[in-house]
Each structure stands twice: as structure tokens, then as C-alpha cells.
Amino acid sequence: MAHYTDWLPTTRDGQLAMAKDWVSVTGTNAHLWGIPLTAVQELGGLVEAKNETTRTPVATAQCKTAFDELTAAMRDMKRRYFLSPPLTDSDYISLGLKPRDTTPTPSGTPTAQVTVETYLVGRHELGVKMIYVTGSNADPANKGYRIWYSLAGQGETAPANPDDLRKSFYTKRKKDLIEFDFGDNGKTVYFAVQIENEGKKGPWGPLTSVLIPLTSMLSA
């Protein structure tokens, strides 16, 4: 049988023992925790249905089906009734579960630098892909990306640094899309990215640029 990596015991003996404990504990506390008596009775019936005394193929298949039904009922009961008040930490322990961790894990201030790699998508669309210059996307501080950009046509002044960029959008995706106007074909778009995390901003990534191709170039 499959081995679970979460709260459910990995062996049938362990699963059955936990289920029996649940029947006992919920039988006493169901009315306090808002659990319908029918749910407790259903779990008790599934516990009683377990029988592995014979080892015939039919009996083995029946036992597997019975355990699948039991574990499904346990998962459903936990999801419906154990993940909200009024259960206390001691209640969780009595059920063989770990108390809930209600302390948020601090994710810190972003320190990584990101740039964008661009690619053509359509006539007036550029795809942007996040490329880490420093740091790693596995860092929990790297929640999302603020992509800043500005356009400059022929003869117009190009931005000298990221602070000169005027437009922006926020995304949590590693790849995203920017759509430009028809009249932007042939202009140069300048990009710089800052990682953001709940109002905290990381350092600027490098200023990069790409030419938006003319329509005739795309349709050639």
C-alpha cells in the first residue's frame, strides 16, 4: 500500500489504532466540537469492518477497499471538524495529531536581484521570464516581482537608471506577458525588476532593454 508522508500513520495497524482513538475521543466530545453523531457512527462502522484474518486474494482486496474507505473518512473528518475551533492543543494531542502552528513564519526582506529575459508572443506582445542574477527563487522572501518599464522611440531620451522607469505591474509568476499598443512597434522598451514581499522591496535588478519589432518583421 502507499506510504503517506503526512499526519496519517504509514501502516494499517497504525491507521486502525488512530481510528479507534478517534472513535473513542469523538464519542465523548462530538457535541462540544460540532461533529454530527452520524459521522462518528460512520467512522465506528468502518473500524469494525476491518478483518485480515484470512489471506485469500478476495479477502486481501476487500481489506484494501475497507482501509481506503477508512482513511478517506478520517481525512474528511479532519478537514471538516478538526481544522477549526473549538479544538485546543490538548484536543489535537488526544487525537494523535500535532497541535496547529499559528505563528507565521517570517519570510524576511528580499535581497536577490532579478532581470528579465524577453521573447516574442504576438504582434504587440512580449513574454518576460524572470532570471535570478543573485539569490534563488527558493528563498521564501521572494514572494513576487514588480516589473518596471518605459518606452522610448527614436530620438527620445532613454532612461538612465531604474528610477527613471514610469510604468509597472506586479506578478507572482516566473513568466508573464506585456501587451503594447500598435504604435509602440519599433520602440525600445526598458525593464528593471524589484522583488517585493508584503511591502518590503529588494534591490533593483539591472536595467535591460529590447526592441519591439515592427509589424512587418513579425509577419515576414
pLDDT tens for each residue of 91-124:
888 888 887 766 666 678 899 999 999 998 877 7
Show the 3-state SS of 91-154: HHHHCCCCCCCCCCCCCCCCCCEEEEEEEEEECCEEEEEEEEEECCCCCCCCCEEEEEEEEECC
Question: What is the residue extent of each domain of the chain?
Answer: 12-94, 113-218
- In the prediction, which pLDDT does 54 show? 57
**CATH class of residue range 113-218:** mainly beta
Mean pLDDT (the chain) is 85
pLDDT tens for each residue of 138-153:
898 998 999 999 999 9
pTM, full prediction = 0.52
Neighbours of 24 (CB within 10 A): 13
Which burial class, exposed, middle or buried, applies to 3 when counting CB atoms under 10 A from its CB (0-12, 13-18, 19+)? exposed
